[in-house]
């Protein structure tokens, strides 16, 4: 149950961060409306709050979260940008997820 909760939190966190960064991108690079900054700010606040929900030490959470972020960004690349990830993208994503799993779920004493 702890593994499922951790992975779900990381997935939600990654989506919140990507949306929070993508909306200003739309405004700045794609000529989107300035009002996009409001949901972007809310999404980034949600991102920061979600990171606090993990019971592990903050540094460990931040380090492991990076792996999930990479994998979710590759899904975003395919689903939103319409670019299919290469086998190297997928291999890199798998490596980062393996790193996340080692960091978060390795047995620890104390």
For the chain, what are the domain ranges? 2-105
Q: What confidence score (pLDDT) does residue 90 get?
A: 98
Reading the chain (110 residues) residue by residue, the pLDDT tens digits are 888 999 999 999 999 999 999 999 999 999 989 999 999 999 999 999 999 998 888 899 999 999 999 999 999 999 999 999 999 999 999 999 999 999 999 998 86
pLDDT of residue 2: 83
DSSP letter string, 81-109 = S--PPPHHHHHHHHHHHHHHHHHHHS---
pLDDT at 110: 65
Tokens of 51: 């990171």
pTM for the structure as a whole: 0.89
């Amino acid at each position: 149950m702890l593994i499922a909760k951790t992975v779900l939190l990381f997935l939600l966190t990654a989506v919140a961060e990507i949306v929070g960064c993508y909306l200003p991108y739309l405004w700045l690079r794609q000529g989107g409306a300035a009002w996009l900054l409001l949901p972007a700010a809310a999404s980034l606040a949600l991102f920061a709050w979600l990171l606090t929900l993990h019971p592990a030490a903050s540094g460990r959470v931040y380090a492991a979260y990076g792996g999930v972020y990479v994998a979710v960004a590759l899904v975003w690349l395919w689903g939103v940008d319409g670019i299919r990830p290469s086998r190297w993208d997928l291999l890199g994503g798998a490596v980062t997820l393996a790193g996340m799993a080692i960091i978060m779920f390795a047995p620890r004493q104390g």
